[in-house]
Structure 1
Amino acid sequence: MKNINIYLNFDGNLEDAFNFYREVFQGEYISLKKYMEMPHGDSLVPEDREKVMHAELKIGEGMALMGCDILKTWGQSITRGTNFYINITPDTEKEAHLIFNKLSAGGEVQMPLQRTFWGTIFGTVTDKFQTQWMINLTIEK
C-alpha cells in the first residue's frame, strides 16, 4: 500500500479552508478540481459549479490532505464529526479490489469501486463500524 490520507468534506468552503491549511503547513496543491470541470458540469446549478470536486494538498513527505465540497442539490449533507474519509492509495488494482471488498463486508457501499472519468479506480464504503473509507488508485487513461 502506498499511503493512507484523511479526506475532509466541506459545505462549500473547502477552498478557503485548504488555502488556510496550505499556509499553516507550507503545502502545495497537487490537485484542485471544480465540479464545473466534470463531464456535464455546466448542467449543475450555478452555485455548485464553482465548488471543489476534489482537492489534494501536499503537506509533508508522502502526506496529503484531501477533500471536497458536498452538494446539497445531490442530497448530500455534513454531520460534524463524520465529515471525513480515510483515503487509501493501494499499489495495484488487485489490492484495491481486495481491500474494498474486505471493508465492504457488513458495511454499506456508497460508490462501487470502478474506473472514473478523472483517471482513477475509485470507490467509497462505510464499514460495519461506521468508519468511512475511500479507495483511490490513479491509473493511466
Structure 2
Amino acid sequence: MQTNAYLYFDGNCEEAMTHYERVLGGRMIAMLRATGTPAEAQMPPGWAEKILHACLDVGGTTLMASDAPPNLPAGTPGGFSVNINTDTPEEAERVFAALLEGGEVRMPMAPTFWAQRFGMLVDRFGTPWMVNCVLPECTEAGAETAVPAA
C-alpha cells in the first residue's frame, strides 16, 4: 500500500508541476491533457488543454495533480501540507527559498528541537509545504519525522 498527495490547481497545474520538477529535482512521469482522450467531448470550451492528470516522481515518491474539474473548484487547500525531507540544511534552505518565490511564509526556516532546519510556507500556487531537515539522531532508526527522546 502507498499513499500520495494529489493536488488540484485552478488552471495552472502544468506551470506548478513544472516548477516543482525543477525545484525538487524530480522527473515528470505523466502530463495528460483532455485533448485526444474520451474526456475531451465532455469538457467545456477552453478546457481540453488543461491537465487531467500529472505525476511527478520525487525521490521515489509520486506527487500527483490535475487542474480542478469545472464542477470541483480548486479553492485554497487546507488541513494538510506536503512535507519535503532533505538531507542537508543547505538543501532545506534552497528548497524553502525556491518554493517561497511569490508565496507566503507560515513559519520561517529555522532550527527546531527535532530538525536542523524546518519551515512552513504556502507557494504561489496555493500549495502548503513543510520543509524539514531532521536531526541525525531522528533518522538513524529510519523515523524521518520522529521527535528525539528527551
Structure 1 length-normalised TM: 0.51
Structure ranking higher on relative contact order (CA contacts 8 Å, 6+ apart): 1
Aligned to 1:53: 52
Aligned to 1:71: 69
Aligned to 1:23: 22
Structure 2 gap ranges (5+): 83-150
Tell me which stretches of 4 or more aligned residues in structure 1 moved more than 3 Å: none
**Alignment RMSD (CA, Å):** 2.3
State the Cα deviation string for residues 34-74 of structure 1 (Å, max 9, x = none). 112321514533310000000000111x20110010132xx
Structure 1 gap ranges (5+): 87-141
Q: Does the 8 Å CA contact 1:9/1:69 hold for their aligned counterparts?
A: yes
Q: Does the 8 Å CA contact 2:10/2:75 hold for their aligned counterparts?
A: no
Structure 2 Cα separation of the partners of residues 32 and 83 of structure 1? 26
Structure 2 Cα separation of the partners of residues 7 and 38 of structure 1? 21
Give the strand-richer structure, 1 or 2: 1
Aligned to 1:9: 8
Structure 2 Cα separation of the partners of residues 81 and 70 of structure 1? 12
Aligned length: 81
Structure 2 length-normalised TM: 0.48
Aligned to 2:77: 81
Q: Does the 8 Å CA contact 1:8/1:83 hold for their aligned counterparts?
A: no
Larger radius of gyration: 2
Give the helix-richer structure, 1 or 2: 1
Q: Does the 8 Å CA contact 2:4/2:62 hold for their aligned counterparts?
A: yes
